[in-house]
Structure 1
Amino acid sequence: MTSSLPDVTEPSLATPAPALLARQRRAWRYFAAAAVAALAAVLFLASHVGEDQAVNDVRSRAGNSAALKVAVLMSELEKQRSLPFVLAQDVEVQDALRSRDPARLEALDAKLFALKSGTGAAVIYLIDPAGITLAASNWREPTSFVGSDYGFRPYFQEGVANGSAEHFALGNVSQRPGLYLTRRVDKDGLLLGVVVVKVEFNGVEDNWRRFPEPTFVTDENGVVLLSAVPDWQFMTLGTLPEADRARLRDSLQFGDAPLQPLPIRTDPERRGAEHVLATVPGTGREDRYLQVSVPVPSTQWTFHFLGPTREPVARAATLAQAVGVLVVLLSVFAAGLVLHRRHLARNAIAAQTAVREELERRVAARTAELRDANKHLVSEMDDRRRAEAGLQQLQEELEQANKLAFLGQITAGVAHEINQPVAAIRSFADNAATFLDRAQTEPVRRNLASIAGLTQRIGAITDELRAFSRKGRSGIAPTRVAAAIDGALLLVGNALHRQGVTLIRPATTEEVWVMGERMRLEQVLVNLLQNAVDALEGTPDARIVLSVSVDADAVVKGASRVRIDVTDNGPGIAPEVMAALFTPFTTTKPHGLGLGLVISRDIAADFGGELQAHSEPGAGTRFTLLLQQARPS
């Protein structure tokens, strides 16, 4: 009775329980909410972090640019500051101021013009103690300062009072702004006049305008003196008090400039006064800037640099948000993968649990069925053992019948073999009696010895018949081939003599042993020899060759094989008979059963060997018995 395995669904393909699916859906909803919250938080934080980083970068760049531009401005100032000092010490200047000689003043005009061209100053001129210009580098120009009165100018008054002065103002004649550098000219403690050098910063401002960042310089009052934005000049940082505004207008330092506040205000969205909103002329819109203020050394000026922050902050915030979003997405992906694998693991565990429970249920349900099947199998096994025992008994009976059939065939020959010794025994006995009557003891002794030898021969024949006819089996053990051949020839020897068949035995078989049982091996040999004798009936020069050899190249179960060949020179076996030679009841004898070769093949198989046949019509037949070689016990 067969029993199939339970049909169980694979755990990985099993459908999870509804409760487990509901919990997993809730977990995914919570996970999605947490991912959205994390994304929003990262966007918010990344925006602020990016803005702060961008502001710091702008502050750093603005500081560096401001320092560089202040250094350039200071280089220009220091270059021009040395000029009035040198001219105040010049003898020609002193002599011209003291003598007021027109020739000397004219020569001085040419000298100042040359200095102005070589130093890059806007104009150089000399003022006498009364404030009247005596010589100037622009004496040939329509706007010549020669003869003009500048005694009211603060830079003249401070130069006379303090020895030197620096004053930024709008020129009365040229209407161009510039820095006036003055130095008092003394000789032997006597005031001779004042040297004035006006410096204009057009080149510096033009250089600033090459860069997009608005830059400007304010004085101590917050008035813009220099600027990269022309419209911002003379505007103010914040709203000036009215008194200061009136004072500056009255001084004409900046002409009639309105002194309006710069379009710059503090950014209300950011903390710190450095964050400003400014409207630069030409742009038409208000932008955000970071204002960096740096004092200009050796002056009361302040340099202001406006670093744009709108675009850098926007780019930095966008980049930070992009990086943050990428990090969050990667984190969400990794967390989602972990959650997914966790759900898969739980699903697998749940599926395995369900499968295990299903298996337990099915096993429990089929246990009784298996018990019944086991009982049925035990009953069938008992029936099978009884059938096998009956089959073995039947096979033994067939073997015994085969033996008895052969005994029936060889009985006459055996009787003849026995009758001859019996007749000889009788003759020897009669002769012995005669010799006794004659008192001849020695011939009697020889006759008795002959009688003993003949009785021993009769005993051997009867013993072999009795052993061959005995029913039953012994265990398979090492068996000497020569002994089995001798026993078989003892039984079929008379048949060989009677038909005049020549037997050719192997020369040396004493040391050849095989795994088998002697009496059953004799039965096979008797069967093969008797078949050969029957096949040779009526054959001239009948001959049987019995050979034994060891095939060392053919190894079965670690041992060589022994080959026993029984070959006759008879007419051979027809092909149609060869095709069914080992089939039961196949025979060419008129009174044969057709079981001898079948039984012989089964005996060879029981020994672990095989029986083969080879025959060609008209060329004789060869039966080959292959057995496993054994060592003597």
Structure 2
Amino acid sequence: MFIRRMVSQARAPASPEGWSWLAFGLAAALLLAIGLIAAADLGRSRAIAAMDARAEDGSTLAIAILRGELEKQRALPMILARDPDVRSALSGGNRHALDLKFASIARETRTAVIYLLDVTGMTIAASNWDEPTSFVGNDYAFRDYYLGAILKGAAEQFALGTVSQRPGLYLTSRINDGDRLLGVIVVKVEFDRVEADWRALGGQIYVADQRGVVLLSTVPDWRFHVEAPLDEETQKEIRRSLQFGEAPLLPLPLTPDDGLVQSAAPLSGLNVLSRRDVSTTSWHLDMLLPVDQAIRVEQWRLQTLVALVLLVGLMLAAFLLRRRQQAAMRLLAAAEAKAELERRVEERTAELAGSNRKLLEEMAERARAQMRLLDMREELAKANRLATLGQITAGVAHEINQPLAALRTYAENARTFVAGKDEGAATGALGKIIGLTERIGTITETLRGFARRGSRALEPVLLSEAIAGALMILDAPLRQAGITPQVETGAPGLRVFARRVELEQVLVNLLRNAVEAIETVTPRPASPLLWLGIAETGDDVSIVVADRGPGLDEAAVAALFTPFRSSKPRGLGLGLVICHDIVTAFGGTLIAACKPGEGCIFTITLRKAQAEPTP
């Protein structure tokens, strides 16, 4: 549709709209041509770079394979030069036994041939003694590897075998008896397995010496070709030494082409070239990887991507151009629509303003209701504490009457001691009077603090003191019920973040509930009827109150912390709700676990506070 519109507009260039579409079409065609050319150039560069990197990796691996084979074989001549059987054969010993030994070593080391030359260069023992191409009896004094070993002690030469007509690397080592020359040991290494491993890497790989003569190659036809024509003197020297036999030493079918290499056979086309020197030798290794197909694929991919992007962009530009041409026609309608929209926005704004005011009023009313709810909860908590005080008044009065009676007795004794001028006894009686008054003060202060809810910030509260305060308040109900709680206060000095009065209120509620539950069970179960313990877990402290009461079913446990729902005949259902609120305000948790007929376990979990240092 986009192309048809451009063509139809180009056929009627008399109108301004037609001229616009004609210019657009020409610009689009030019941009598309430039984009495709640039994509082709970029694709060629990227494909060549990728193949270069692959060739670098491949050539590195190929050299590693070659060096592994070389290093494995180089030590063999030196070892055999010290072998006593070799020296014995040179001195007239059993040479056939040495043939067999060489054959065994050649099989184990995967060496092509191992043979021994005497001082004249004549082969006297060889691993291929039983083959038609046996080296035994052949004179190799003309070989450079023999002369090199005589002169330097060791030598290496790559050459074509004069008998086997197979190329290989000859490694030699001189054998001496003191200063007297006995002979030369020769190990011939062939690289068929190396070339097979190279073929698995892909591409074409060859190794050439310092003169540019190809020694090894994955392309057999390239062997003994040269990278560049040799001068006449070098060719004569090669012919004289028979190093490469009658090989014509023709140039390789490779020609440079703009940073790449054009190959003619066996696979014609462009290649990337990676050249690396083979360390410990005078050779270098070249790896050729074909790049034609990679260039075509990368160019096609990038050109397709550029074409898609440009077509999408051109379609978007055509759409925008069409929109621009239609803009003038819609201008009046847009102005009318804008005016209508502004009127509706004003009406909607007025509606939203009224709704906002109503919402603010509702939020204010909800806040006031929340404050009233908090006040009611505070009053309920205070009422709960006062109810608790009413239940424990008798016990507190009993606690105070005991020290009061003792006060009277100790005061009368003190008066008698003073009259009798017994100062020591009088002082002891007065000390006991002071202690009893302090106990009365502690009881009344605990009772007065329990009657009001503290509003102070959380502080470290010593658990042992809070538990002792709660047990003191409930001392009379516990004794009246005949219950002796088993108490484990945990580590000395253990503190939690709370407010002591409120924490005591929670413990009093839980313990009182446990006492009332135990009183309903007949006959009484085995002790302990009531257990209070402490457990530390990381940064938390758990206070556990467990009883042997009748327990509760799942429905009753689920409603424990719901206001105005109680399992007691006269209960208001507020005690545990208030306890839950207090523990939550401490940043802790209060949970219950009950089983019918087995009792209940209430667990308070609070944050542990840092213990004060022991003086």
Say if 2:265 is the partner of 1:280: yes
1:162 corresponds to which of 148, 152, 158 = 152
Separation in 1 of the partners of 2:13 and 2:222?
A: 73
Cα distance in structure 2, aligned partners of 1:332 and 1:245: 66
**1:52 aligned onto 2:45:** yes
Question: Counterpart of 1:347 in 2: which secondary structure?
Answer: coil
Match for 1:337 among 300, 319, 326? 319
Give runs of aligned pairs for residues 412-491 of structure 1, distance below 5 A: none
Equivalence for 1:393: none
Of residues 198, 213, 217 in structure 2, which corresponds to 1:223?
A: 213
Match of 1:325 in 2: 307
Tell me by how many angstroms 1:348 deviates: 2.4
* Contact in 2 for aligned 1:291/1:306 (Cα 8 Å): yes
Give, in whole Å, the separation in 2 of the partners of 1:222 and 1:55: 26
TM-score normalised by the chain length of structure 1: 0.49
**Aligned equivalents of 1:329 and 1:52: distance in 2?**
24
Between the aligned partners of 2:75 and 2:285, the Cα distance in structure 1 is: 22
Could you list the per-position Cα deviations for residues 381-438 of structure 1 after superposition, in whole angstroms to 9, with x for gaps in the alignment? Answer: xxxxxxxxxxxxxxxxxxxxxxxxxxxxxxxxxxxxxxxxxxxxxxxxxxxxxxxxxx
What is the deviation of 1:352?
Answer: 8.4
Q: What secondary structure, in the 3-state scheme, does the structure 1 residue paired with 2:287 have?
A: strand
In the TM superposition, residue 207 of structure 1 has moved relative to its aligned partner by 2.9
Q: 1:71 to 1:351 in 2, by over 3 A?
A: same
Q: CA RMSD in A?
A: 2.2
Residue 233 of structure 2 aligns with which residue?
243
- Map 1:79-478 → 2, pairs under 5 A: 79-97=72-90, 99-101=91-93, 103=94, 105-210=95-200, 212-267=202-257, 270=258, 272=259, 275-281=260-266, 283=267, 286-349=268-331
Report Cα offsets for 1:313-341 as digits up to 9, x if no partner. 01111111111111111211222222221
- Contact conserved, 1:289 with 1:309, CA < 8 A, in 2? yes
Q: Check whether the contact 2:204–2:218 (CA below 8 A) recurs between aligned residues.
A: yes
| Contact map agreement 2:126 2:135 (CA 8 A) in 1 | yes
- 1:32 is matched with which residue: 12, 15, 25? 25
CA separation of 1:207 and 1:347: change in aligned 2, threshold 3 A: same
> Which whole-Å CA distance do the structure 1 matches of 2:329 and 2:182 have between them?
108
State the Cα distance separating 1:87 from its structure 2 match: 0.6
Counterpart of 2:313 in structure 1: which amino acid? Answer: S
Cα 1:347–1:100, aligned 2, differ >3 Å: closer, same or farther? farther
Native 8 Å contact 2:224 2:244 kept in 1 = yes
- Counterpart CA distance in 2 for 1:342 and 1:95 is 104
Q: Which amino acid aligns with 1:57?
A: A
* Count of matched residue pairs: 325
Q: Determine the C-alpha separation between the residues in 2 that align with 1:120 and 1:327.
A: 59
Is the Cα contact below 8 Å between 2:46 and 2:298 reproduced in 1?
A: yes
> Do the aligned residues in 1 keep the contact of 2:58 with 2:201 (CA within 8 Å)?
no
Q: Matched residue of 2:15: which SS?
A: helix
Cα contact 2:254–2:264 (8 A) shared by 1: yes
Structure number with larger C-alpha Rg: 1
**Larger displacement relative to structure 2 (135-144 or 115-124):** 135-144
% of aligned pairs identical? 43
Residue number in structure 1 paired with 2:491: none
Structure 2 counterpart of 1:10: none
Identify the residue that residue 467 of structure 2 maps to in structure 1.
Answer: none
In the alignment, structure 2 segments of 5+ residues that lack a partner are 1-11, 336-615
The one-letter code sitting in structure 2 at the alignment partner of 1:87 is L
For residues 516-566 of structure 1, what are the alpha-carbon distances to aligned partners after superposition, in whole Å with 9 as ceiling and x for unaligned?
A: xxxxxxxxxxxxxxxxxxxxxxxxxxxxxxxxxxxxxxxxxxxxxxxxxxx
Larger RCO (CA within 8 A; separation ≥ 6) = 1
Cα displacement string for residues 49-76 of structure 1 (whole angstroms, at most 9, x for unaligned residues): 1110000000011111111111111111
Task: Provide Cα deviations, 1:149-201, integer angstroms capped at 9, x if missing partner.
Answer: 11110000011111111100000111111000011112323222111000011
Deviation at 1:252, TM superposition (A): 1.0
CA contact (8 A) 2:13 2:22 kept: no
CA distance in structure 1 between the partners assigned to 2:201 and 2:74 by the alignment: 28
Residue matched to 2:422: none
> Helix, strand or coil: the match of 2:50?
helix
* Partner Cα separation in structure 1 for residue 299 and residue 236 of structure 2: 47
1:64 corresponds in structure 2 to 57
Within 2, Cα distance between the matches of 1:181 and 1:164?
Answer: 8
Give SS of 2:18's match: helix
Give the SS at the match of 1:151: coil
Counterpart amino acid of 1:148?
N
1:601-612 aligned at under 5 Å gives the runs: none
The answer as to whether partners of 1:213 and 1:307 remain within 8 angstroms in 2 is yes
> How far apart in 2 are the matches of 1:144 and 1:20?
93
Residues 209 and 229 of structure 1 are in contact (CA less than 8 Å); yes or no, is this contact kept in structure 2? no
Return the alpha-carbon distance in structure 1 between the equivalents of residues 62 and 334 of structure 2. Answer: 78
**Residue 210 of structure 1: CA displacement?**
4.3
The equivalences for 1:6-45 within 5 A come to 22-45=15-38
